[in-house]
Structure 1
């Protein structure tokens, strides 16, 4: 699983829309959408840091191939 799938799982675990994540992370919703769809596979370091902070996970966890169940609250 790539960053896009991790963002989706973590965002949905918080019951957030892409707009909610945009507000929390200051990453444009269009970028979030592209990341989630796999159209932006290598977002910049600052974008990844902002998303990880907003989702309350480390950058390493956000980039992991498999997000742990603990991180998504399952």
Structure 2
């Protein structure tokens, strides 16, 4: 699985919408959608924020 697919899977497991996660990490929903689809890459810092909210590590998302 790609990083984006792992983010989407974990987000859905936590019951969060794209809008909810995007708001929590301070980005737009469309940007998060692009990350999940693999058309944009998240920075390490943004990845850390996503991992923290999704209760996992960066390695879990890789």
In the TM superposition, residue 48 of structure 1 has moved relative to its aligned partner by 0.6
What is the CA–CA distance in structure 2 between the aligned matches of 1:15 and 1:49, rounded to whole Å?
19
1:57 alignment partner, SS class: coil
Q: Return the TM-score normalized by structure 1.
A: 0.73
Q: Which runs of 5+ in 2 are unaligned?
A: none
Q: Return the TM-score normalized by structure 2.
A: 0.85
Match of 2:26 in 1: 26
2:11 alignment partner, SS class: helix
Equivalent runs, 1:27-46 vs 2, <5 Å: 27-40=27-40, 42-46=41-45
In the TM superposition, residue 28 of structure 1 has moved relative to its aligned partner by 3.0
Q: CA RMSD in A?
A: 1.3
In the TM superposition, residue 8 of structure 1 has moved relative to its aligned partner by 0.7
Match of 2:57 in 1: 58
Select the structure of larger CA radius of gyration. Answer: 1
What is the CA–CA distance in structure 2 between the aligned matches of 1:36 and 1:52, rounded to whole Å?
13
